[in-house]
Chains A and B, each alone.
Chain A
Amino acid sequence: MSTKDPSRGLLVSPIRNGTVIDHITAGEALNVLRILGITGSTRECLSIATNVESKRMGKKDIVKIENRELRTEEVDRIALLAPQAKINIIRDYKVVEKKGVEIPEVLKGVVRCPNPGCITNTNEPVESTFEVLPKGLHCLYCDWLIKDDIANHII
């Protein structure tokens, strides 16, 4: 999927319009897509490069999504898995906007509460809601604390 041109660095299928998520923690590209709600059955044209060399990070992952500009509230949840990630908005082959990701204060509908007794795991019309604390994700319904392995709890 990716080819390396020694003279020019990375050349991964240039896109005309869309979003490039660069500097993803190595190995997290697929989880980043999951947390964005982009699954295998997506209609988007995607390129994914994992474990590519990076001067800054040693190894990193990159995701490119054609014809879709991700909104800030969509991308901030990426910070849970890849705090260094950079979002590049591409228009007409050029990077027109570049931003980091910030961990949101509250995550709605992003991770499933691991507590089987939690009201968010029923057929009630309610989204899982976690506040993001330094020690982990705290369920605002049942007080469960997710301390690690957040990727495994992504809905």
Chain B
Amino acid sequence: MYHIISIRDFERRDLDYLLDRAQEFDTGDYRPGILDDKLVALLFFEPSTRTRMSFATAMARLGGRSIGVDSVEASSIVKGETLADTIRVVGGYVDAIVLRHPKEGAARLASEFASVPVINAGDGAGQHPSQTLLDLYTIRQSMPIDGIDVGLLGDLRYGRTAHSLALALSLYGVTLHTIAPGGLEMPANIALELRERGMEVVEHSDVQEAIRDLDVLYVTRIQRERFPDSASYYNVASSYRITPDHLAGVKDRLMILHPLPRAGEIDPAVDRTPYARYFEQASNGVPIRMALLHEVMK
């Protein structure tokens, strides 16, 4: 049985394979109704509109159906019940389970108890592999990933999307540039793991210093609750905000990505520049999730 739990479980060729499949789904190169006899459970124990909708959309486009519970109903099914039991029961109803859960490692646990494949749609501060795949897919639509320069900007301490994207990019000979406010730098053990995987990781103190060398600038959310008071938050947030002024002299092919939703990290004026690719990135969630759903249920 094939589960999709963590980007760490993937080798380069697995990622490339899934990206190729996503491209086929994206261009309509598949048999309509290919999953028309399949049913997926979307178990969301934590709110998420975007990820949940894009899985539901992907399933519908493949001709399959989804049943689901959102965080409110989910909290009532689990009244006194363990996730392990819920998974065993729901696994008896459906052909695959998509799980979002607040605890790290929840998807790995679910895969151990499920009689059907499990796809991790985010486990707390842990993994969110379909997000990473859609990030890679968006980059690959514009340029080969090998050997490019990618900047990660924002909260690199708690930001799980940044960590798992960095891990995936380490399989492509990418040079990583990290730009993070004091206190929100990438944890030493993650930076160590990236270097052990052969990745060059360059730390920068501000965006301006790095941006001209970048092919991709991946901006992540800086959360208010990471700061002791509003003043220090606004101070940091404003100095890490991307505005059109930052974009003078950048490479033509620079793409700015963001996992969305954004708070104030990117000035809306940037949306009108050719570098802004975050909405396209969001829509790539559908072909990626089509590829994942198809792969585990075909």
* Chain A positions near chain B (C-beta within 8 angstroms): 115, 117-120, 122-126, 135, 139-143, 145, 147
Given known contacts A124-B83, A125-B82, A142-B126, A118 and B104 CB-to-CB distance under 8 angstroms: yes
Determine the chain A residues whose CB is within 8 A of the CB of B103 once the complex forms: 117-119, 122
Within 8 Å of chain A (Cβ to Cβ): is B106?
yes
Interface of B is mostly: mixed
Chain A CB within 8 A of B8 CB: yes
Q: Which residues of B contact A125 (CB under 8 A)?
A: 82, 84
Q: Is B124 an interface residue (CB 8 A)?
A: yes
Chain A residue at minimum C-beta to C-beta distance from B123: A119
Taken together as a complex, chains A and B put the C-alpha atoms of A119 and B87 apart, in Å, by 14
Chain B residues with CB below 8 A from A123, complex form: 82
- For B63, the chain A residues whose CB sits under 8 A away are none
**Complex Cα–Cα for A118 and B124 (A):** 9
Q: Give me 29 A-to-B residue pairs in the complex whose CB atoms sit less than 8 angstroms apart, sorted by A's number.
A: A117-B102, A117-B104, A117-B124, A117-B125, A118-B104, A118-B105, A119-B83, A119-B101, A119-B103, A119-B104, A119-B123, A123-B82, A124-B82, A124-B109, A125-B84, A126-B109, A140-B105, A140-B108, A141-B105, A141-B108, A141-B109, A142-B104, A142-B105, A142-B124, A142-B126, A143-B6, A143-B8, A143-B126, A145-B189
- B47 → chain A closest CB, angstroms: 17
Chain A residues, CB < 8 A from B105:
118-120, 139-142
Contact B104 A126 (CB under 8 A): no
Task: Report A-chain residues with C-beta under 8 Å of the C-beta of B127.
Answer: 143
**Is B112 positioned at the interface, with any CB of A under 8 Å from its CB?**
yes
Q: Are B82's CB and A119's CB within 8 A?
A: no
In the bound complex, residues from chain A placing their C-beta under 8 Å from that of B106 are 119
A136 to B104 alpha-carbon distance, docked (Å)? 19
Which residues 18-66 in B have Cβ within 8 Å of A in the complex? none
* A34 vs B139: C-alpha distance when bound (angstroms): 51
On chain B, the residues within 8 Å of A126 by CB distance are 84, 109, 112
A119–B6 alpha-carbon span in the complex (Å):
15
